[in-house]
Structure 1
Amino acid sequence: MAAAQTPEQDHAIEIENPTADPVDTTVTVRRVTTGETVHNQTYTVQPNETVTAYNTRQADPDGIEEFTVSVAAYDLTDSLTVETNQCWGDVLARVTESDGVDMVYAIC
């Protein structure tokens, strides 16, 4: 079975703060099929720290599901849709005052 068709529940959503100051960051995760918000929390990420905010397995996905991940910091928001399959890797949201939110992820 191809990686895109093989379920994989384990996808971490991480926030990285490479700056010298703490930053408040809000992470919202929604299940696409129902619109249900499965996670919505604000984190204070310390300087040069990376925190795991959420993992899609916490939503107990049924096979392959899509989740919209939104990360907000410095009054800017970036979003993307992830699938719970083996093609997707973890999501890293890098937050800086100059660039706002930059989402980095791996996909096959």
Structure 2
Amino acid sequence: MALSSSSIISRHVAVNGAGAAALVAARELRQKRQEYVGGTWNYTDHVEQDPLSVDPTRPIVYSSVYGSLELIFLESVWDSQTSCFDPTRKIKRSEEVSSHGEVLAYLQDFC
């Protein structure tokens, strides 16, 4: 679910340091900013027409997820007190595997 432009919240990010890792982080944040959360979990069936990135005007496809992708996550990844995720938010699934759509919904709810 993409957010409408009227509901987009602008967030500022600071990268501390000027070493190699900080410079790479700053560059990647600037280049890969999107209008929605979820990064690679935002599935699209579009593929890069220019996989070698020769054409600088090409449309960039950020998702590397494929339509039938299913993931097996340990319960501790989703529900643990030590997880970076809120332990009160449990992924809703009836099986041991999760679809990429469930992961995206969880990340969107988290934000």
- Range class of TM-score, shorter chain: under 0.3
More strand by share: 1
Structure number with the bigger relative contact order (C-alpha 8 A, sep ≥ 6) is 1
The structure whose Rg is larger is: 2
